[in-house]
Structure 1
Amino acid sequence: LVDVLTDAGIKTSCLPLLHLNAVTDTAKIEAIKKQWLPLSQQDFVIFISSNAVKYTAEFLAKHNLIWPSSLPCIPIGGATAKAIQDVGWLLKHAMDVDVNVDVNVNENNESHNQAEKKPSAALSAYSSEKLLAELSQLDVSEKRITIFRGEGGRELLADNLTSRGASVNYCEMYQRQHPEYSREQFEQALGQNLTAILFASGETLENFNRHVERDGLQARVEGLPVIVPSERIKDLAERNGFKNILIAVNASAEGFLQVINQQLLK
């Protein structure tokens, strides 16, 4: 995100408000290994983020495990879709996981999958809510689904799919940590000529606001434009006292850049 904005000529700084680390607890690692045995029997899996793909691929390499090549992987977000493509797994979108495949043989005895189209990362749902809207068109009753995510994520997807008759498991591949900054570090990061604040997730917004409240800096930031990737995080920003909230076209770096160009630099 910083690189995209900088390349567009926008002076940008980054304050990390969420650190991710691979799971290291021995018991949790063994539990993840056990989930690999029935993984090939799942109807499809969902990756919450590109980090979920990254830490899963690293776990496979470290523990000499093999990913089921025919297992459909549904992403949330274009970056997640690209990550799935980059590791060579079977990328699918919500609307084509149940497509019946017709295989024909042409005059040269070459088989062609008439239903198969290479999915585009650009078509991926950019939030759990949007993915659920797409999945609502499908019958997930008795489907076996595994959600790859970090520890402590939202329950929205699993609760909805379970209520519709699906069997849902979690595979939690990484841990979240909220970094702490001193008042001096935090004020230095805010700088003197701040034009807007971008939040990539609800967790980063909440950790930012925790520092703001601790240091009594509400008056300094609450009037600034903030840019968020979804309606859900807009609501969270409002509850945290922000007044001027813009919603990016989507959660990609290009989505943030577009709203900056259209709303802040016009």
Structure 2
Amino acid sequence: MNAAGPLAGKTIVVTRPRAQAAPLAEGIAALGGEPLIFPLLEIAAAADPQPLAAAVARLADYALAVFISPNAVDYSLPAILARGAWPAGLLPAAVGQGTVQALAAHGVAGCIAPSERFDSEALLALPELAGERVAGRRVAIFRGDGGRELLADTLRERGAEVDCIACYRRSGPPGGVAPLLAAWRAGRLDALTVSSSEGLRHLVDLLDAEGRAWLQKTPVFVPHARIAENARALGLSNIILTAGADAGILAGLGAYNWSA
């Protein structure tokens, strides 16, 4: 830990799923902060494995395979690669750079992804997803249960045949929010980092009146405008919008005026 860093003496909550929390937590520690890992979403394999098995069986029929998150990679690639090598004619696509890296870790290269904004809108703006490129072709979207339908709906409007494959499911923190309340009461919770609107909704739903009052006072750093909008809709006002991914969150934490 860097005792002279900009986050010295600050406890920052990392709410990413546990498997994705370490890089951000390490970055906070490098800036002098004390990371408190508290996943707002627990990730597990989909309750029904059949949709994934069916997609794997016909993978070579697809022209494009989109992975919504690193979790989508982790919960689908082992089944895909257990059947054989990645099909030569199948173009992989990802919403964010973390997902690109997760694919690369499994040996899947040549992935297309946005280079700045990391969302469905930015992915849809890539030339490889234009109407003339996807019309009449099959697209597989590997994702969690539920989620936004914008990507699938837009690709269908562009003439693609789209299958959405739920390969993992999300749930709220199983142990409740007692650790956060204890940290707030002890005066050692200075900020939260939140990268999921769904996770933030889980948190607000689980907090009692005391917890919501603490949350209202606490800076909440979010890496996407849509999450900021959802936070405001949930009644939060102390929201700091950062650039995308862990690097953007860390830059926002480092630049924040903690004495204000």
The TM-score range, normalised by the shorter chain, is 0.7 to 0.9
**Superposed counterparts of 1:97-136, under 5 Å:** 123=115, 125-134=117-126
* Distance (whole Å) between structure 1 residues aligned to residue 248 and residue 91 of structure 2: 27
| Pair 184,146 (structure 1): closer, same or farther in 2 beyond 3 Å | closer
The correspondence for 2:56, drawn from 7, 21, 36, is 36
Matched to 2:228, the amino acid is K
1: CA distance between counterparts of 2:30 and 2:178? Answer: 29
Q: Which amino acid aligns with 2:168?
A: Y
Q: Give the aligned partner of residue 9 of structure 1.
A: 32
Q: Is the 8 A contact 2:40 2:202 kept in 1?
A: yes
**Secondary structure of the structure 2 residue equivalent to 1:46:** strand
Structure-1 residue corresponding to 2:5: none
Following the alignment from structure 1 to structure 2, what is the Cα–Cα distance between the partners of residues 12 and 125?
A: 26
Q: Which residue of 1 aligns with 2:203?
A: 208
Between structure 1 and structure 2, the one with the greater Rg is 1
The one-letter code of the counterpart of 1:51 is N
The alpha-carbon deviation at position 91 of structure 1 amounts to 2.6
* CA 22–182 in structure 1, closer or farther in 2 if over 3 Å, else same: closer
1: CA distance, partners of 2:94 / 2:117: 7
- Pick aligned residue for 1:148 from 137, 142, 147: 142
Query: Aligned partners of 1:183 and 1:244: how far apart in 2?
Result: 20
* Pair 1:92 & 2:111 matched: yes
Partner of 2:17: none
Counterpart CA distance in 2 for 1:174 and 1:249 is 27
Q: Provide closer, same or farther for how the CA distance between residues 239 and 125 of structure 1 changes in structure 2, counting only shifts above 3 A.
A: closer
Gaps of at least 5 residues in structure 1 are: 95-121
Distance 2:53 2:102 in 1: 22
Q: Which residue of 2 aligns with 1:243?
A: 237
Once the two structures are superposed, residues 183-240 of structure 1 have per-residue CA deviations (whole angstroms, 9 ceiling, x without a partner) of 643412445132221102111111111122x354222221322111211111000011
Output the aligned Cα RMSD. 2.3
Matched, 1:230 2:224: yes
Give the structure-2-normalised TM-score. Answer: 0.80
Aligned to 2:249: 256
Q: 1:218 to 1:265 in 2, by over 3 A?
A: closer
Q: Single out whichever of 182-191 and 168-177 deviates more from structure 2.
A: 182-191
The one-letter code of the counterpart of 1:73 is: P
In structure 1, what residue type is equivalent to 2:249? F
SS at match of 2:76: helix
Q: In the aligned structure 1, how far is the partner of 2:177 from the partner of 2:246?
A: 29
